[in-house]
Chain A
Amino acid sequence: MSTQTASSIFAKAPAPGLADPVHDAQSVFRSAMNALAQPGTVQQLDILTLSPPAPLSVAATALVLTLCDYDTPLWLDPTLATNGTVKNYIRFHTAAPFVESPAEAAFALVSDTKLLPAIASFAAGNAEYPDRSTTIVLMVDELTEDEGITLKGPGIKTEKQFSIAPAPAMFWQQMQDNSTLYPLGIDIIFAGTSQVAGLPRSTKITGLEA
């Protein structure tokens, strides 16, 4: 094969995924696991070599590549859903089927908090199978521990302050409503640039007025 042919193929091929699929995925999973097990703590990801197409962040991409495959219907926000490069990239690396309706999604990838639809439009599971719910990977600019709203519940010793930026209007209010559905509800994994944090449905949220 001539170099020219090879490079033209590479030019069309999606950007590479995890450099070390086995160990990178394990390490990203551990961060996601710790994030959901200790809500409101910011977990640093080790993976820095990933170069996903814009507007995907390294952290959000690492999560999707680690958790999604052909068994997980994936919902993309309207911006991502109309971005061919992003869709090709995700399809190539995960084979996850894209779904139109948030209620059918096992995972949702939201690149901008402004594009987050009503939380209630995602799958919350049912009383017999509360696990049949959507996990939202939500890209944010900043994740901050020890300031902001107050979290309580499993994974938190007493209480934990936490904030995201930007936080869309009514977001915390919606998450508060989400937690009242417990054990139903959605779970969120926030993806910063290279950090993640978790907010499972079991977490109680207070201090919104602050």
Chain B
Amino acid sequence: MTERVETQGISGEHYNFAYLDEQTKRMIRRAILKGIAVPGYQVPFAAREMPMPYGWGTGGVQVTAAVIGKNDCLKMIDQGSDDTTNAVALRNFFVETTGVDTTTKTKDASIIQTRHRIPEENLTKDQVLVYQVPIPEPLRFLEPRETETRKMHALEEYGLMHVKLYEDIAKFGHIATAYAYPVMVQDRYVMDPSPTPKFDNPKMDQMEALQLFGAGREKRIYAIPPHTKVVSLDFEDHPFEVTKFEQPCAICGAEEIYLDEVILDDAGNRMFVCSDSDFCEERRDVGHVGHLGTNPLEAEGND
């Protein structure tokens, strides 16, 4: 890599491998093991202050730092893309503090850290998906008190959540939760999937890869082992529905994937392109073309 963000002195000489000291890594690793043993349960951990702001991925970064080894290959995405500003900043953090290989290709990565998306491509048993989580508590917006929500989880008392979802249906005709849509893990814990769009929820169910979730500010880690039952909450007469897009990706033609809406001009013209930039690129590399061609900005009528 020739163009590298100038290091701010966090290169290997001054800091431990992956930045965290070994005691902190052990503490996080223990929390990860507990999380795996009790899927969907939020394990409290003593999150450390990190050299990036709370709310900007400190939980995911700490989990990745505790898991990553020198032979790993890391992919870092935000909004499905490897090149969003915060993904770039976090990837550079790991390049500087670990020297591991990074990739934008989903299938080449052994660890994928993500914010707000699950890659379109199926993950495998040799991969770990690390989610950045802002508010790990799915019941938080119904009951702001940790002391109360902890009891609700302990007693498996999730009636309030169903009432909320049902009120949505009464008011809007739909469950008005489009992202961070709550799931039930292995028939026991209601869990926040992080603010991924509900489109991604079905991918969590029986996923082959291990899924780890880190919330730094809220100091919680949780996990879903491979092949674990993850069900989006719903009602018999109002089953969970995945968002469907009416058109394919404008530049690679893919269907049944999650799309970003891009406004092309001030006349309200817009196009939809893959949110997962690697998925889109792979398709275009093997010759798939969407209805706006490979470069929509040069496409007719868009200049």
Chain A residues within 8 Å of B, Cβ to Cβ: 21-23, 25-27, 29-30, 32-34, 36-38, 66-69, 71-72, 106, 126-131, 133, 135, 153-157, 182-183, 187, 200-202
With contact pairs A36-B36, A187-B37, A202-B37 given, residues A26 and B69 touching in the complex (Cβ less than 8 Å) = yes
B residues in contact with A37, CB < 8 Å:
36, 210, 223, 225-226
Among B29, B69, B210, B227, the residue within 8 A (CB) of A157 is B227
B residues in contact with A22, CB < 8 Å:
16-17, 22
Contact status B34-A131, CB under 8 Å: yes
Please, could you name 12 A-B residue pairs with CB atoms under 8 Å apart, sorted by A? A21-B22, A26-B70, A67-B33, A106-B30, A131-B38, A154-B229, A155-B228, A157-B206, A183-B38, A187-B37, A202-B186, A202-B225
- Expressed in whole angstroms, the Cα–Cα distance for A72 and B23 within the complex equals 11
Chain B residues within 8 Å of A, Cβ to Cβ: 16-17, 22-23, 25-27, 29-34, 36-39, 41, 43-44, 66-70, 125, 150-151, 153-155, 186, 188-189, 206, 210, 223-229
With contact pairs A128-B151, A130-B41 given, residues A26 and B36 touching in the complex (Cβ less than 8 Å) = no
Contact status A38-B125, CB under 8 Å: yes
Among B16, B33, B154, B189, the residue within 8 A (CB) of A33 is B33
- Expressed in whole angstroms, the Cα–Cα distance for A59 and B30 within the complex equals 17
Contact status B22-A25, CB under 8 Å: yes
Contact status A25-B25, CB under 8 Å: yes
A residues in contact with B43, CB < 8 Å:
131
Most A C-beta atoms less than 10 A away, residue of B26, B206, B224 = B26
Contact status A128-B154, CB under 8 Å: yes
Contact status A183-B41, CB under 8 Å: yes
Known: A36-B36, A131-B41. 6 other contacts (CB 8 A): A29-B66, A33-B33, A67-B33, A154-B226, A182-B38, A187-B34
A residues in contact with B226, CB < 8 Å:
37-38, 154-155, 157
B residues in contact with A155, CB < 8 Å:
36, 225-228
A residues in contact with B229, CB < 8 Å:
154
Chain B contact residues, majority secondary structure = mixed
Contact status B227-A154, CB under 8 Å: yes
- Expressed in whole angstroms, the Cα–Cα distance for A21 and B22 within the complex equals 9
B residues in contact with A133, CB < 8 Å:
34
- Expressed in whole angstroms, the Cα–Cα distance for A127 and B33 within the complex equals 18
A residues in contact with B25, CB < 8 Å:
25-26, 29
The distance from the CB of A124 to the nearest CB of chain B, in whole angstroms, is 11
Contact status A26-B228, CB under 8 Å: no
Contact status B33-A23, CB under 8 Å: no
A residues in contact with B210, CB < 8 Å:
33-34, 37
The distance from the CB of B286 to the nearest CB of chain A, in whole angstroms, is 30
List of 8 A-B pairs having minimum Cβ-Cβ separation, nearest first = A200-B37, A127-B154, A155-B225, A154-B228, A131-B34, A154-B225, A26-B69, A37-B225
Among A29, A129, A154, A202, the residue within 8 A (CB) of B29 is A29
**Chain B residue, CB-CB nearest to A199:** B37
Contact status B32-A33, CB under 8 Å: yes
B residues in contact with A127, CB < 8 Å:
154-155
Among A30, A67, A200, the residue within 8 A (CB) of B36 is A200
The distance from the CB of A22 to the nearest CB of chain B, in whole angstroms, is 5
Contact status B39-A202, CB under 8 Å: yes
A residues in contact with B66, CB < 8 Å:
29
Contact status A33-B36, CB under 8 Å: yes
- Expressed in whole angstroms, the Cα–Cα distance for A22 and B25 within the complex equals 10
Contact status B23-A135, CB under 8 Å: no
Most A C-beta atoms less than 10 A away, residue of B38, B69, B154, B226 = B38
